[in-house]
Structure 1
Amino acid sequence: MQETMNKLPQLQAGALAGVRVVEMGQLIAGPFAGKTLGEFGAEVIKIEAPGAGDPLRNWRMIKEGTSVWWQVQSRNKKSVALDLRQSQGQELARQLLKEADVLIENFRPGTLEGWGMSPEELHALNPGLVILRISGYGQTGPYRDLPGFGVVGEAMGGLRHLTGEPGRVPVRVGVSIGDTLAALHGTIGVLTALYHRKVNGGKGQVIDVALHEAVFNVMESLIPEYSAFGAVREAAGSALPGIAPSNAYPCADGWVLVAGNGDSIFKRLMQTIGRDDLGNAPDLANNAGRVARVQEIDAAVGAWTQPRSINDVLAQLGTARVPAGRVYTAKDICEDPHYRARDMILAQETRDGYSVEVPGIVPKLSATPGTIRSSAPRLGDDTDAVLADMGLSSAQIAQLRTQGVIQ
């Protein structure tokens, strides 16, 4: 096992081999969908504006002039630097889309239409094209034209109201979860539409994903509880409201998460911490009873964990078959043998000449696993090759470069 750690999976044809994706837009939501499709074999051609390209190239921590985030978000992609504000650039994009299977865009609604690339116009050109449109509020409705970022989608989707400690300011999850949820919903839509195209006469369709709706879709029982009981779920810190015990508990050297909310698990947990009086209490034999006494139970678990180290707590709870875990940092993840045994930390060579460790690929397919076939491109790395593949001559490409249409 040690010999295979940190190495890229063996390259092979992916499940989406032969699917051509044109990715427009920038930053997170659209490009994350493109990343996911690319990892499973799709050819992803990313169109970027000449000059600076996708702003993500310069977000957060920079190495050798490029964000290390970019190395993950744009692996398995080709970069074409094309000015879509110019009519010639728009015509080149239309030619590219004529032979594509999927278009991904996350512009404000109406942007494609302004470039003469509305879904109706594109489907007239390529009836089988699957068009994924990700935006703040969707392509319809009274808010469609408002600017929307993932953070706003998280708030409108109901998530921000539940994050943080009761009575305190709502906090970020810590990552751009709204954008990523929208991207994953968009990816599901693309795969569904490709299947529909295959079995229903080759017709493409439009997938309309709103950031706030993607967040809202994972909000569990939020709306049924309000509808049935008038209950407005509130922030609960690290606890899981209505499920007990499930919380973060203090240790001598940090925090540990314990999920003792199964009936038999609860009895084993109480036995481990020396509280058989709680474990054998008739009213605590089911979740409803435990929720009614959750503060007492949490206090008992916390009193047991507090003087102990995280490792000691995890060892004892592991022996008792009680689900528990430490709160991982990036350092913890990189040093964890389980992550490496499952190829979730991979060494990726960049085009700037250095190696960087990056997340592996999820989900894991047995016959056609995802792969990293190429590192993230520099701006315009593939412009000439893609245009030549479209039939343009070297002289035509040089003329377009002189006119500032491409880079």
Structure 2
Amino acid sequence: MTDKNNGALNGIRVVECGQLIAGPFCGQLLGDMGAEVIKVEPPGAGDPMRKWGNGEHKVWWEVIGRNKRSVTANLRVAEGQDIARKLIASADIMIENFKPGTMEKWGMDPATLQAINPRLIIVRMSGYGQTGPYSSRAGFGGIGEAMGGWRAIVGDPDRAPSRMGVSIGDTLCATYGCMGALAALHAREASGRGQVIDAALYESVLQVMESLVPEYDVMGLVRERSGSILPGIAPSNVYPCSDGEFMIGANGDAIFARLAKAMGQPELAQDPLYATHVARGENQARLDELIANWTRTLTIDELEALMVEQSVPAGRVYRPADMLADPHFRARQAIVEIPHPEFGSVRMQAPVPKLSGNPSSIRRPAPRAPGIDNAEIYGELLGLSSAELERLSDAGAI
């Protein structure tokens, strides 16, 4: 963690009104790049993300809440809405991921907010977008993954669709929301005005579906679940070793020849069953079995050394312990250690991507309690007195 802020977004103020994953992850991305992020939480328990995660200690919050300050405002009451509008009046970007119509109900719709602050960029994230026949439906990341085409193609073909293992729908939507905000900041330089970014969960997933739709449109092809393989692209799979699993991607002709040499079977590269990309795809299962029979005789260390020696793209299937012990992770500072009042420190993923001139950074840990920065932000930024803050708190507005 550092006290310096040389980030590309230093000087940009973000008010994050979202909760759970999509909104807060968008705020995390902007904060990592140097933006000042003020998170608005409901009084009391705050963002439910504070209680999410696995195990006894809920440390997901330490990642998604980093680089943020916290204020509380009850957006369901008039005084809470009023103080939020005053805060947003000083912002460059406002983030929200409530059900469409909610911000309008609270008197915080784009027209109202931009009348107060014409330069305001509003990032709106929802399940189905702000328009269309499904816009009023409740939507979570998993639903967006299903509608966007992700779930149907993830998992083994003889089983039900699988979850990826992380909330990819939410984080994709947040990433596209962040991308839209950055584009809008650039456009504002010319126009002097902000705009609204409408990021839908299902459309964010759809965006990374490669040629899934045109394959069906042109040829009637429907992608199906294929487990660990990429159909027709071989060899590219996770293979068993005597002490674990190892990923090999050797589907190019020249690369496959190097793999065959490493296996002590260079003749495979000339075998009509495996000599070409098409042939290997047609004989994918047979080739995978042949490779697996060889990798089972080796340890992960032995196989990795052979793959490096022969310049074959390959790698370990990492768990957290592997990441923390790996010298490449350490050399690139891919994982950073953040001081923590309860745990001493917490190690987590560093900001990406790496900018040579304006490095992103983690400058403050996640706020310990909802509203911990009320006095500083409401007092110094909005000029509210301690007596007024106490009155607003007693009234349930903050």
**TM-score, normalization: structure 1?**
0.94
Match of 1:137 in 2: 128
Match of 1:56 in 2: 49
Amino acid corresponding to residue 43 of structure 2 in structure 1? P
1:120: Cα distance to partner? 1.2
Amino acid corresponding to residue 386 of structure 2 in structure 1? S
Q: Is the 8 A contact 2:62 2:365 kept in 1?
A: yes
Match of 1:209 in 2: 199
Cα deviations by residue, 1:35-55 (Å, 9 ceiling, x for unpaired): 010011101000000011000
Q: 2:232 aligns with which of 242, 250, 270?
A: 242
Counterparts of 1:12 and 1:100, CA distance in 2? 18
Q: 1:38 aligns with which of 9, 26, 31?
A: 31
The answer to whether 1:325 aligns with 2:315 is: yes
Q: Runs of 5+ in structure 1 lacking a partner? A: 1-7
The answer to whether 1:396 aligns with 2:388 is: yes
Match of 2:216 in 1: 226
1:275: Cα distance to partner? 2.6
Amino acid corresponding to residue 74 of structure 1 in structure 2? G
1:26: Cα distance to partner? 0.6
Q: 235-244 or 79-88: which moved more? A: 235-244
Counterparts of 1:296 and 1:110, CA distance in 2? 55
Q: For residues 110 and 242 of structure 1, do their structure 2 counterparts lie closer, same or farther at Cα, with a shift above 3 Å needed?
A: same
Amino acid corresponding to residue 200 of structure 2 in structure 1? A
Where in structure 2 are the equivalents of 1:304-319 lying within 5 Å?
304-319=294-309
Q: For residues 62 and 272 of structure 1, do their structure 2 counterparts lie closer, same or farther at Cα, with a shift above 3 Å needed?
A: closer
Counterparts of 1:326 and 1:299, CA distance in 2? 19
1:166: Cα distance to partner? 1.3
Counterparts of 1:118 and 1:9, CA distance in 2? 36
Amino acid corresponding to residue 53 of structure 1 in structure 2? G
Q: 2:168 aligns with which of 177, 196, 208?
A: 177
Match of 1:12 in 2: 5
1:373: Cα distance to partner? 0.9
The answer to whether 1:120 aligns with 2:97 is: no
Match of 2:69 in 1: 78
Cα deviations by residue, 1:56-105 (Å, 9 ceiling, x for unpaired): 10112466xx6211111111101001111110110111111111100100
Match of 1:27 in 2: 20
Cα deviations by residue, 1:223-251 (Å, 9 ceiling, x for unpaired): 12111211101111111123111111111
Over the aligned positions, Cα root-mean-square deviation in angstroms equals 1.5
1:353: Cα distance to partner? 6.4
Counterparts of 1:154 and 1:44, CA distance in 2? 28
Counterparts of 2:361 and 2:304, CA distance in 1? 34
> Match of 2:226, SS?
coil
Q: 1:336 aligns with which of 326, 332, 345?
A: 326
Counterparts of 2:238 and 2:342, CA distance in 1? 42
Amino acid corresponding to residue 364 of structure 1 in structure 2? K
Q: Is the 8 A contact 1:166 1:234 kept in 2?
A: yes
Identity over the aligned pairs, expressed in percent?
Answer: 51
Q: Runs of 5+ in structure 2 lacking a partner? A: none
Counterparts of 2:3 and 2:254, CA distance in 1? 43
Amino acid corresponding to residue 54 of structure 1 in structure 2? D
> How many residues are paired up?
396
Cα deviations by residue, 1:16-43 (Å, 9 ceiling, x for unpaired): 0110100012111110010010011101
**TM-score, normalization: structure 2?**
0.96
Counterparts of 2:232 and 2:88, CA distance in 1? 50
> Match of 1:358, SS?
strand
Counterparts of 1:197 and 1:286, CA distance in 2? 52
> Match of 1:67, SS?
coil
